Amino acid sequence: MDVSQIAQSVAAGDRRALARAITLVESTRAEHRALALELADRLRSTGRQALRIGLSGTPGVGKSTFIESFGLMLVAQGLRVAVLAVDPSSARSGGSILGDKTRMERLSREALAFIRPSPSQTHLGGVARRTREAVALCEAAGFDVVLIETVGVGQSETVVAELSDLFILLLAPAGGDELQGVKRGIMEMADIILVNKADGDLKPAALRTCSDYAGALRLLRRRPQDPGGFPKALTVSALEDAGLEKAWVEMQALTEWRKANNHWETRRAAQSRHWFEEEVRQGLLAALTAKPETREAMRAAGDAVARGEMTPDSAAAKVLHSLAARC
C-alpha cells in the first residue's frame, strides 16, 4: 500500500481515497496501524480545519432526516459536508445505524457530500479512535463541515462531545410537561438544543418543549465558552426544512464568538491532550493483558483479593509496582 499516494489523493479531496483511508484507520491489524499513523502524520501538514458538529438524539427523533436536510442546505451553499457516526450499540441492533443505504439517499448523491457508514465495532474506545481519525481525514480532504452522529446511548455522547467543536442535542416534542428524562450531564454538554418535528399537529408541543428546555438551560451554570444567550433551544422541522437556516446562523455565530475569544483553540488543544492521554491509557491497558505472565499476575492477585488475603488496594499496588519495574 502506497501511503504517500493515498495521502496525496485524500488531500486532493478524492472521496474514494478518503473511504480507503478510513478503512485503513478502522483496521486493528498492527501493520495497518503503522500505516494509519504514517498517513495521519503526512496529512497533518495540510493544516485544514472543518467545523466539527456533534449531533446526538435517541432513535426516532429524526437524526438522519435532519442530517440529510441540513446537509443538503449546506451543500446548496457550496460547502463540503462529511457525515460520520459513533454507534457503539450497532451490534445490539444487528446493523450499523448508517449502514442502511436508504438513509440520506439524496445527500449521498451530492458531489460535495461524503457519508461514511458506521463500522460494526462494539468497543467504544475503538470506535472513538476510529471516528477521531476519520474526522481528521475528512478535514485533510478539505471538508468544511463534519457532522458526527450518535444515537446517544451510554457514553457515546461524551465521546462525540470530545470530538466536536459544537455539540447539538436533537429532541422530539414531549407529550407531557416533563423534560423527557434528558440527563443533566447531556444538557450541560449541549451548545444548542434543537426540538425537531415542529410541524403539523406536533408544532404546539414542539414550541412548548422548546420553551421548557430554554428555561432549563437558563438554570444551568454559565459556561465560560458561551456568549450571552447560549446554550440555546430552537425548534426545527427536518421534514419541512423549517428553522434549519436559523439553526445554522446560530451555530456560526457561536463558532465565530468562540474563535474571536480564544475558546475554539483552547477547546481543540484540550481535546487533543485528552485523546493523547486516552491513547496512552488504552495502550497501557492493552499491554496489561497482552503478556501471559502479566495476565497470570493479575489473576493470582485477583484470587488473593477474592479470598480475602489481600485488600484490593494493596494487591493493585503490588501489581502496578511489578509492572513499573519491568517498564
Using CB under 6 A, list all residues that contact ligand GDP. Answer: 57, 59-65, 196-197, 199-200, 202, 237-239
What length is written for the chain? 327
Name the CA radius of gyration of the chain, rounded.
22
Helices 124-140 + 3-11 axis angle, to 10? 60
Please report how close the Cβ of residue 63 comes to ligand GDP at its closest, in angstroms. 3
Please report how close the Cβ of residue 2 comes to ligand GDP at its closest, in angstroms. 37
Please report how close the Cβ of residue 8 comes to ligand GDP at its closest, in angstroms. 35
Using the minimum distance from each CB to ligand GDP, give the nearer residue, 36 or 152: 152
Using the minimum distance from each CB to ligand GDP, give the nearer residue, 21 or 192: 192
User: Grid coordinates standing for 58?
Assistant: 435517541
For residues 216 and 188, what is the distance between their CA atoms, to the nearest angstrom?
A: 10
User: Grid coordinates standing for 1?
Assistant: 500500500
Closest residue by beta carbon to ligand GDP: 62
Residue 113 near residue 80, CB atoms below 8 Å: yes
Using the minimum distance from each CB to ligand GDP, give the nearer residue, 61 or 82: 61
Please report how close the Cβ of residue 299 comes to ligand GDP at its closest, in angstroms. 43
Using the minimum distance from each CB to ligand GDP, give the nearer residue, 103 or 263: 103
Using the minimum distance from each CB to ligand GDP, give the nearer residue, 17 or 169: 169
Using the minimum distance from each CB to ligand GDP, give the nearer residue, 68 or 139: 68
Strand-strand pairing, 81-86 and 113-115: parallel
Please report how close the Cβ of residue 240 comes to ligand GDP at its closest, in angstroms. 6
Please report how close the Cβ of residue 198 comes to ligand GDP at its closest, in angstroms. 7
Please report how close the Cβ of residue 206 comes to ligand GDP at its closest, in angstroms. 9
Buried residues in 5-31 as b, exposed as e (16+ CB within 10 A): ebbebbbeeebebbeebbebbbeeeee
Could you say which DSSP state residue 241 is in?
T
CA of residue 305 relative to chain centroid, distance: 38
User: Grid coordinates standing for 167?
Assistant: 455539540
Could you count the other beta carbons within 10 Å of the beta carbon of residue 307? 8
For residues 119 and 87, what is the distance between their CA atoms, to the nearest angstrom?
A: 8
Is residue 180 left, alpha or beta, with left meaning phi > 0 and alpha meaning psi from -120 to 50?
left
Compute φ and ψ for 229, nearest 5 degrees: 90, -10
Using the minimum distance from each CB to ligand GDP, give the nearer residue, 70 or 264: 70
Residue 161 near residue 167, CB atoms below 8 Å: yes
Please report how close the Cβ of residue 72 comes to ligand GDP at its closest, in angstroms. 14
Using the minimum distance from each CB to ligand GDP, give the nearer residue, 146 or 244: 244
